[in-house]
Each structure stands twice: as structure tokens, then as C-alpha cells.
Structure 1
Amino acid sequence: MIGLAPPAYDPAAPAAAETLPVGGPATVRSYVRELFRRHRRAFLLLIGVNTLAVTASMVGPYLLGDVVENVSDGSRELHLERTVALFTLALVVQALFVHQVRLRGAVLGERMLADLREDFLVRSVGLPPGVLERAGTGDLLSRITTDIDRLANAMREAVPQLAIGVVWAGLLVGGLAVTAPPLAPALLLAVPLLVVGCRWYFKRAPSAYRSEAAGYAAVAGALAETVDAGRTVEAHRLGALRVEQSEQRIREWTAWERYTLYLRSVLFPVINATHIIVLCSVLMIGGVFVLRGWIGVGQLTTGALIAQMLVDPLNIILRWYDEMQVAHVSLARLVGVRDIQPEAGDDSVRPEGRDVLADDVHFGYLEGVDVLREVSLSVRPGSRVALVGPSGAGKSTLGRLLAGIYGPRTGRVTLGGAELARMPAEDVRAHVALVNQEHHVFVGSLRDNLLLARNGADDAELWAALGAVDAGDWARALEDELDTEVGSGGVALTPAQAQQIALARLVLADPHTLVLDEATSLLDPRAARHLERSLARVLDGRTVVAIAHRLHTAHDADVIAVVENGRISELGSHDELVRADGAYAALWRSWHG
């Protein structure tokens, strides 16, 4: 079969930049087997009820064939009353069991879909923080929305319907073999066309649907990025460029959409031709057999009706198997997180102290490209260290290494002599906390947002934490105070207020070592200065590593580390570095005037 070729370009190309992988065949099969094991009883019950429904549906053709056979033999006693009564009873039984099949199939599909959603969320939350930080917005968004939506239909209907269709078709073929054995081989005449058509289609469909899904993820990523950076796009007059990029990705995505539509436009006529061949072969071959006296007219009637009934299960199998091709791609994208090994950690690795040490650390996000090189830094317990330097120098990356978010490529980052990379993530978070410019206010009450940091804290502790970050006044002014709904759909908080909530969580978490990555950058200079002074009282005695956005933060630090081009170029106190008249002194003069 020759037709439309797949697009020459590959909209799946953006997938190369994804950090969340697509699950391989082994991962998908393993997860499917796990789902079947969880719902084994429900599957067996569905198949059992479906078997009874199909068996009841074959009573009608058998009774009609018997009547036709009697008529053809000239019998005067047709027992129509008994035939009608049995036929009516079979219809009632069939209707009852078909209702149960649909009901139990829908319930089974919803339960499997709920399991899938929960498994994806639980697995995603358990991934290493660095993996999620590097994941593209469009990829994450498309997996949790589009892929889930595509799987919803498959889980609700495709899986139960496929099981129903396979059982249905098998029972009908078995019924034909029992009631009219010579006609059963006639079904084989349609097999070659069906096999060739399906092999042609299913050889191309999985990769096409995979590229279509990746193309949609690229479209979603481009749109989300443009919306998120709307002000930057407007300020730099990048609107036309962003529109052009989005349109290009849309063109690539729609090209794959057209190609998958073309594949279906070939498959469906093949299926229709198969139905015609099945029925015609049974009638023609059966007619010859009747004329030769090898079978009766009643057997031919029963066989023709059963052959006609095969149309529905074959349509179900092929239709939903096609749907499963789309679902398989989405399922592979969702269970791909299983291919990422969670941070195992070693429970026996315990810090013996609070000193933080980076020893000859090299780190990079891409293979062979180091962002940090030959970095060594010692942070004494209770001291305050400021990381300063130009944008892109590696300050935030170093802060994440010290917080245990990332592990070094070479070298060691230790807390109390224990390597952070070897400690379980929960233990690291109990000792070290990171607060950066990015923060989130969850939908819910102000109290719920604060309790994320320490579940079980009472109202007095919550108010104390808000007061420590100068958020007490506006929080008490809310209509329901701590019970006020905030976030999307609730009270809209300013960026500064959201940042104060993030800092209040930090106070509640009460770690002994803090990494503040420009944590007050969204506040105006006066408010930021006041907030930092308030925090200074709360953080007294704790180790603080601050990525300094404003140099007055560095001025107050015990030690200042100047990061340039991935290396620490200067190290010392504010007065020492000003006297040295190096990079820090130049930054101080340009900022302070």
C-alpha cells in the first residue's frame, strides 16, 4: 500500500530536550500487568458476565435456524410458541447481562484511570528535585493534561471493550464451529486482507502517534513559555518571532495529525471489506454445501447470522485497538517516570556536625559542559555566607549544590562529614532548606499553606512565623484571618505577600542550615531591608548561605564568596574584599556609588 508519507520533519525533536523520559515497551508491559493484577477479580467478573451475554445472544440464530430447518423439511409442528418464549427469555437475559457488562466495564475503567493518575502523581513527587526543576513546562503540562485526557477514554472504554470484543468474537467463532462446522473455515478467507491491512497500519501508527503527542507537547511548551514571559516578549518586541515559532510548531503538529488521519482512512475500508468477505464467503460456500446436501438450510441460516454478528466484535476490537495505539503512547509518557531511579540514599549516612563543605566540585547540566569548576568552600556552623557575582556566573547552581538539590559530577559536598548526595532526601531536607525566587501559593486556606512546612503547628506558632517575616499585619486584616482562602479562586496575594508566605514556611520548618536564593528579590529595597533585619533575629544561630541580589546582604555576611565564570575568584569579609580592590570592590562601588 502506497500513500501519504510521514512528514519529513520531526515534531518529536523537542523531546530530545525533555528530562522526563518516555517509558520503553518493557516498562509499559510491566505497568499493564500490574494494573491487571490489581483488578484481576474485576476483569474475570467482566469476562464471565460477557460470556453469558454472548451465549444468550446466540440463542436467537440457533432458534431461527431450527425453525428454517423444520420448514425446509416440511414439518408441520414448528412449536412457534416455545420458540418465541425461548427467544424472548434469551433477549431478556442478554439485555440484563449486557447492562452488567457496560456497568462493570465502566467501573473497572474508572478505577484503573484513578490508579494511573495517583501512580503518576506519587511517582512524580518522589523524583529527585533536580529532575523536576529541569523538566520543561510544556512536557509536564502535556503529560498531566493531554495524555491523561487521551488515556481517560482508553481506560474507561477501550480496555473493557477490548476484553469484551475478544471474548465475544471467540465465542461466536466457537458457536459457528459447533452449529455449522463446515462453514467455520469460510471465515479464513477474510484473514489475509485483514492481516495485511492491520500489519501495514500498526507498523506505522505507534511512531506516528508518538510524534503527534510530542508535537502537541512542543506546541504547549511554546505557548506556555510565551505566556509566562509575556512582559519580556512585549518589552523586547518579540511578539512576531514568538508567533512565528508557535505557528511553525503548530504546522508540524498538524502535519502529523493529517498523517495519522490518513492511516485511519486506509484501515477503515479494509475493515469494511473484511466484513463483506466474511458474510459473502459464508453465504456462497454454505449455499454450495446446501445444494450438495452437506449441511442443512437451518445450519446455513444459523451460520450466516453468526457471521453477521461477527461484525460488531471485530469493529470493537479494531476500533479500540486503534484507540489503544494513541493510549499506548500517552501511557508510555506517563509511566516513563518509572524509568527514573529515585534517589536511594543511605540511611546509615548521618551528619556529625553542621559544617558544610564543598571540596573541588565540578558540576554541569549537560554532558561535558561544566557550570561550576574547581569550587571549594567551607561554611562554618552559625556563619553567614553570601554568594555574589554577575548573572550566569553559577551562584544559584552552587546554592542548590549546597542545599543538596543537585549532586556534583566530581568532588564532594558534605554536611557534618556526610555526603549530601548519599543521604536520603528526607534527611537532607530536615537539615538544609532552600528558598528561592520561585514560590507557590497553593489553593486553600492560609493555614493550610503554612502547615505544609510543619504539620501540627498550632495557631500561635503560625502567627509567630508570619510575624517574623512582617506578614502578621496584612494576614490579620484578611476577612477570615488564617482560614481565608488564598490562591486561584481565593484572595489574590501580591508577589511580595506570596514570598513572605514562603519565608514563613521556612521559619516553621526550622532547619539549622538555610540557602536563600534571592529570597527577598520581589520586595522593594526598603521593605526587603526591613524583612531581612526581622529574619536576622529569627535566624540567629543558624547557618545561612545567601545568594545576594542586593549587595547590602553581602555587607552583613561573615564571609563573601565572589563567583565568576563558574569559579570562586574571591573569598573574605566585606572589608577585606573592598581593601583588595578586586571584582567585589568594583561591584560594591557600582552599586553603592
Structure 2
Amino acid sequence: MIGLAPPAYDPAAPTTATTLPVAAGATVRAYVRELLRRHRGAFALLVGVNAVAVTASMVGPYVLGQVVDRLAAGARELRLGEAVALFAVALAVQTFFVRLVRLRGAMLGEEMLADLREDFLVRAVGLPPGVLERAGTGDLLSRITTDVDRLANAMREAVPQLVIGVVWAGLLVGGLALTAPPLALAVVIAAPLLIAGCRWYFRRAPAAYRSEAAGYAAVAAALAETVDAGRTVEAHRLGARRVALSDRRIQEWTRWERYTLFLRAVLFPIVNLTHTAVLCGVLAIGGFCVLRGWMDVGQLTTGALLAQMLVDPIGIVLRWYDELQVAQVSLARLVGVRDIEPEPGDASVRPAGRSVAADDVRFGYREGVDVLHGVSLAVAPGTRLALVGPSGAGKSTLGRLLAGIYGPRSGAVTLGGAELARMPAERVREHVALVNQEHHVFVGTLRDNLLLARPGAGDPELWTALAAVDAEGWARGLDAGLDTEVGSGGRTLTPAQAQQVALARLVLADPHTLVLDEATSLLDPRAARHLERSLGRVLDGRTVVAIAHRLHTAHDADLIAVVEDGRISELGRHDDLVAAGGAYAALWRSWHG
């Protein structure tokens, strides 16, 4: 049996699983106000149309109240024809405007949802690349899927229905007060019960829903990591441990699910009790007033019907406000990207040349733990620099700093004397490009995939780029050539072909400085060697920083930097380093056999 307290385990465990921040209340409220300003005309129209529909629905109780008054007065002619005609007209008006309310509400919800999705996409794309690289897979996945789905329902239904319910309830209470002011006391008497129940619920619900969403993100993260690293899990016999972790995350998530269900199981009976209290109060107060002669029977009849009609709007408001508690958490997670400070960029900062340099650079992924320790390096324009060293030494990290993906914690990385960290990201990408071993084939044609690098390129340029990376042969063998659909749902490219497409994009982008992080790792050694020779002709005259475990890349380089424990231990040409008999010489002898 679930008690009034939340689950006993530490709720901070799932909530800290997220890497991207969750927006503070002020950020969420500011974004909601911005959405309302954008769509204030549509909101005003929805409120106006709904007011007409509710007013038309109140005609029936008033007509019936007048009929009851005539009966009580002993009238022999009730003029039912007029009453029925008026009721029919009101019903027709109500039917038309209710349909219009639903239409306008659905349109408003879709427009707001479209704005939200576009805002999230634009802001996410503008985030610093390092932030997205460090973001957890499960957290990103749950935000893009689960949170968007929850918000879709809220935007399409909850927001319009909440507006409708508030207007509906307000007009009914106003009509009740105008018809018979004493009957409005029934609402005042029952209101404390509803307020107390809602305060109890809404003090607990937001935190519970946040923990529930974080728990689901932790489940998604555990499952995604297990699937992504399936071969590693199998090789190290970690299956039982990963299953136990997934089971624990699922149990934590379901406990929060049960707790939020308990909260709703307390709130809804209180709401039903409030409805009963209002109706009983109206009948009791109205009956007393009628007996005292302070009120007509027709007024009591109209008041009772209006009180009964309050059931629907109050139910709508509370139902969809509860839905908004779930949506608010999802909205805070999506809007949370606004709390990430964008990369500082000064449009006036421009490189004065093509030389790349790192000056006493220190960098770490975690506070207080550095991966690079005081690295200094100078790369002249047109130099081919190879970064070699054992795994985990910091080669890829240094490459990302030289490409401007990360900014150093201290020190400076410069291009032509200008700090990369101070330049706008778009300008950095104009000069420096990073290609790593992880490549993505986008859904679309092969031409579309290539044109990402240079939208205005013609077919001859595309074929030239493919030829430069030894991909022309298989590309011309495709059924529709450049117009062949590739990616999900189309032609599946092998990892090696996807890598060649990525390198062809690099040729088309035509940056003067390249950082290649094991860019040919998915090719077999012979094919990789042939491809690197072909690329060598294309990359002639460019500055190239190549990170590789295959030392033939280092053999062909102009300069070699050996990275060990986050420091450059050796720097020089291949022959000089081999003759020195240091760390590089040991690597060369081990690799060359």
C-alpha cells in the first residue's frame, strides 16, 4: 500500500542522470509568456468564441426557470412554443460555436506546438558542440521523444481545454450570482474543500512528476547504453549486471509512477465531493430562500441547473491542469537548453593567417581533473602534423581543441593569432573542419548528403569529390547514381562507404585546416593506405592534423607529436624521432614488426 510520502529511496539518483539542464521556473514562465504574446490574437478569438458558446448553453436553464415560474404562478398559458423555439435557436448557436471552439482550440494548439518544436530545434542546433557531445544518450533521446510527445498532447488539448474550462466556469458562476446571489454562497462554501485538496496535490505533484520523468530518462539511458555497447557487454559477460541495473532503474521509475497515481487517486474524489457539496448547497440554500419567499422557484431551478453544469468545466480545468503538471516538467526539460550559455563569439575576431597554435593549454571534462596538462604546439600553414600515442593519452581531446570544438580551461588555441574560443562557431567552421570515425548518413539522396557541405555544388564537383576519396566506382554503380536514396528506408551504405561520403563532404567544404581523428579507421589497412594517398593529393597545401593509430600516417607526416599522459613528450620528424630512440621509436618498432 502506498502512503502519503514519496518513495523512500533517494530521488536525487534519477534526477542527476541528466546532462542537459532542466529550466528553472522563471525560465519556463518567461517562455510561456512569450508564446502567449505570439498567439494573443488566437487566444482572444478562442475566449470570445467560447464565451458565446457558454452563453448559449445557459439559455436552456433560464428558459426552464421561466416556465417553472409560470407554473408556480398558476398560469394556464405556458407559451411552450416560444420556449421551445428559443431553446432550439440557443442549441443551434451553441452547437455551431462549440464546433468552432474545438476547431480554434486545435489550431491554436498545433501552432503553439510547432513554435515549441522549432524553438527547441533552433536552440539545440546553436548549442556548443562540446555540450552536445557530453550530453547523455538517454537524456537526449527522452527529451526528443517522450517529452515532445507529452507536450504534443498538452499543446493540442490541455492549453485550449484549460482556457475553455476557465471561461466556462467563470461565466457559469457569474450567471449563478446574477440569477440568485444567495445561491453563489454554495460555491463559496464548497470552495475551501476544493482549494485544500488542490493545494495538497499541487504541492507534491510537480516534484513527483519531475522525478518520474528523470526516472524514465535513467531507464532510457541504461537501455540505450546496453544496446549501443552490446558487443562489449557480451564480451565481458556483463549481461547480468546490465539487466540488474535496468531492473533497478525500472523499479525506481515505476515507484514514482505509483506515487503520482496515488496523488491523483486522492485528488479526484475530493473534486467529486466538491461537486456534490455545491449542488447540495444550492438546493439547501435555495429551498430555504424559497420557503422564506426570498426567491422564486424558477430562480432555484435555474440556479440548480447552472450549479450542475459547473461539474464539467471544473472537471476540465482540474483534469487538464493535472496534465499540465506532466507537460510542465517536459517543457522545463525542453526549455532547459535556454539555460545553457551560448558560445561566446566576437564577430570582430578574425584570423590574420592560417597558422595554428596551442599555448600552455589545459583542459578537462570534469572539474578539477585535467586531461591535457600545459600543452604548447605550433603548426605552420600547410604542415601535416600527426598526433600519436597510447589510447587515452589525450590525442583526440587535443584534436578537438585545435578544431575549436572545445575551449581550453586555461591557455589559448589560436588560428592566425585569433583565439578560436572567441570566434563565432560559424566562422571557425569556415576555416577548420573536424572529421572523426563516427559518420552519419542522412535520409535522402546521395546528392543531398554531399550538398550539405556546399549547397551550390554542381554534379561535376560532386563526382570529383567522390573520386578524390575513391568512392566514384561504387557511387556510379548505384541504380540512380547521385539520386539514389540512402540512409534509413533507402540504400544502406557500408561503414566504409559512409566514411567515404563524410570525407567527400570534407573535400567539398574546402577548409584550409583539417583535423582527422582516425578518419579512415573503418577501412581495411590496404584500402585506408590507398585512400590516404588519394586524399594526400587533394589536401596538398592544407594544414592537416591527423590522429591515428596506424603509424604509416605518421611516417608520411611533416611533423609528429607524441602525446603521453596529456603532454607532448616528443616533437619532430619521423627519421629524427626514430633515431632518438624514445617513445615514438618504441611505437614504430612495435608497429613495424
Structural mapping, 1:87-236, within 5 Å: 87-236=87-236
Give 1:432's aligned residue.
432
Deviations 1:499-555 (A, max 9, x none): 000000000000000000000001100000000000000000000000112111111
Aligned residue type for 1:456:
G
2:542 & 2:333 partners in 1: Cα distance? Answer: 43
Report the Cα offset of residue 14 of structure 1.
4.2
Higher alpha-carbon deviation: 452-461 or 547-556:
547-556
2:87 & 2:77 partners in 1: Cα distance? Answer: 17
Report the Cα offset of residue 232 of structure 1.
1.4
Deviations 1:162-188 (A, max 9, x none): 000000000001001111111111211
Report the Cα offset of residue 17 of structure 1.
4.7
DSSP-derived class of the 1:511 partner: coil
Report the Cα offset of residue 285 of structure 1.
1.1
Give 2:420's aligned residue.
420
Aligned residue type for 2:155:
M
DSSP-derived class of the 2:387 partner: strand
1:143 & 1:323 partners in 2: Cα distance? Answer: 17
State the 4+ residue runs in structure 1 displaced beyond 4 angstroms.
Answer: none
Question: Are the aligned partners of 1:172 and 1:310 in contact in 2 as well (CA < 8 Å)?
Answer: yes
Give 1:372's aligned residue.
372
Give 1:312's aligned residue.
312
2:504 & 2:7 partners in 1: Cα distance? Answer: 52
Give 2:571's aligned residue.
571
Give 2:330's aligned residue.
330
Could you list the runs of 5+ residues in structure 2 that have no partner in the other structure? none
Aligned residue type for 1:42:
A
What TM-score does the superposition give when structure 2 sets the normalisation length?
0.99
Give 1:483's aligned residue.
483
Aligned residue type for 1:251:
Q
Give 2:493's aligned residue.
493
Deviations 1:417-445 (A, max 9, x none): 00000001111000000000111000000
Higher alpha-carbon deviation: 408-417 or 176-185:
176-185
Give 1:68's aligned residue.
68
Question: Are the aligned partners of 2:18 and 2:214 in contact in 1 as well (CA < 8 Å)?
Answer: no
DSSP-derived class of the 1:131 partner: helix
1:447 & 1:404 partners in 2: Cα distance? Answer: 28
Give 2:515's aligned residue.
515
1:247 & 1:576 partners in 2: Cα distance? Answer: 56
Q: Does 1:553 align with 2:549?
A: no
Report the Cα offset of residue 18 of structure 1.
3.1
Aligned residue type for 2:520:
T
Aligned residue type for 1:486:
V
Aligned residue type for 1:482:
L
Question: Are the aligned partners of 2:358 and 2:413 in contact in 1 as well (CA < 8 Å)?
Answer: yes
Could you list the runs of 5+ residues in structure 1 that have no partner in the other structure? none
Give 1:80's aligned residue.
80
DSSP-derived class of the 1:570 partner: strand
Question: Are the aligned partners of 2:358 and 2:376 in contact in 1 as well (CA < 8 Å)?
Answer: yes
2:501 & 2:210 partners in 1: Cα distance? Answer: 41
Give 1:44's aligned residue.
44
1:348 & 1:460 partners in 2: Cα distance? Answer: 36
1:191 & 1:173 partners in 2: Cα distance? Answer: 12
Give 1:339's aligned residue.
339
Aligned residue type for 2:530:
H
1:288 & 1:245 partners in 2: Cα distance? Answer: 65
Percent identity of paired positions between Structure 1 and Structure 2: 81
Report the Cα offset of residue 13 of structure 1.
2.4
Give 2:474's aligned residue.
474
DSSP-derived class of the 2:16 partner: helix
Give 1:16's aligned residue.
16
Aligned-residue CA RMSD (Å):
1.0
Higher alpha-carbon deviation: 317-326 or 544-553:
544-553
DSSP-derived class of the 1:376 partner: strand
Q: Does 1:263 align with 2:263?
A: yes
Aligned residue type for 2:330:
S
Give 1:461's aligned residue.
461
2:313 & 2:109 partners in 1: Cα distance? Answer: 19
Report the Cα offset of residue 472 of structure 1.
0.4
DSSP-derived class of the 1:362 partner: strand
DSSP-derived class of the 2:540 partner: coil
Deviations 1:12-56 (A, max 9, x none): 524435331111111111111111111111110000000000000
What TM-score does the superposition give when structure 1 sets the normalisation length?
0.99
Aligned residue type for 1:23:
A
1:357 & 1:389 partners in 2: Cα distance? Answer: 20
Aligned residue type for 1:212:
E
CA distance 1:450–1:10, change in 2 (3 Å):
farther
Give 1:291's aligned residue.
291
2:82 & 2:568 partners in 1: Cα distance? Answer: 96
Question: Are the aligned partners of 1:10 and 1:252 in contact in 2 as well (CA < 8 Å)?
Answer: no
1:377 & 1:220 partners in 2: Cα distance? Answer: 41
Question: Are the aligned partners of 1:11 and 1:218 in contact in 2 as well (CA < 8 Å)?
Answer: no
Aligned residue type for 2:225:
E
DSSP-derived class of the 1:428 partner: helix
Report the Cα offset of residue 344 of structure 1.
3.4
Question: Are the aligned partners of 1:386 and 1:548 in contact in 2 as well (CA < 8 Å)?
Answer: yes
Q: Does 1:7 align with 2:7?
A: yes
DSSP-derived class of the 1:456 partner: coil
Report the Cα offset of residue 115 of structure 1.
1.0
Question: Are the aligned partners of 1:563 and 1:570 in contact in 2 as well (CA < 8 Å)?
Answer: yes
Report the Cα offset of residue 10 of structure 1.
3.8
Question: Are the aligned partners of 2:61 and 2:305 in contact in 1 as well (CA < 8 Å)?
Answer: yes
Structural mapping, 1:23-42, within 5 Å: 23-42=23-42
Deviations 1:111-162 (A, max 9, x none): 1111111111111011111111111111111001000000111000100000
2:34 & 2:309 partners in 1: Cα distance? Answer: 34
1:136 & 1:425 partners in 2: Cα distance? Answer: 22
Question: Are the aligned partners of 1:162 and 1:317 in contact in 2 as well (CA < 8 Å)?
Answer: yes
DSSP-derived class of the 2:568 partner: strand
Report the Cα offset of residue 583 of structure 1.
1.2
Question: Are the aligned partners of 1:350 and 1:418 in contact in 2 as well (CA < 8 Å)?
Answer: yes
2:16 & 2:569 partners in 1: Cα distance? Answer: 35
CA distance 1:142–1:312, change in 2 (3 Å):
same
Question: Are the aligned partners of 1:441 and 1:498 in contact in 2 as well (CA < 8 Å)?
Answer: yes
Report the Cα offset of residue 4 of structure 1.
3.4
Report the Cα offset of residue 9 of structure 1.
2.1
Report the Cα offset of residue 77 of structure 1.
2.3
2:3 & 2:25 partners in 1: Cα distance? Answer: 28
Aligned residue type for 2:30:
S
Question: Are the aligned partners of 2:14 and 2:211 in contact in 1 as well (CA < 8 Å)?
Answer: no
Question: Are the aligned partners of 1:11 and 1:212 in contact in 2 as well (CA < 8 Å)?
Answer: no
2:22 & 2:190 partners in 1: Cα distance? Answer: 37
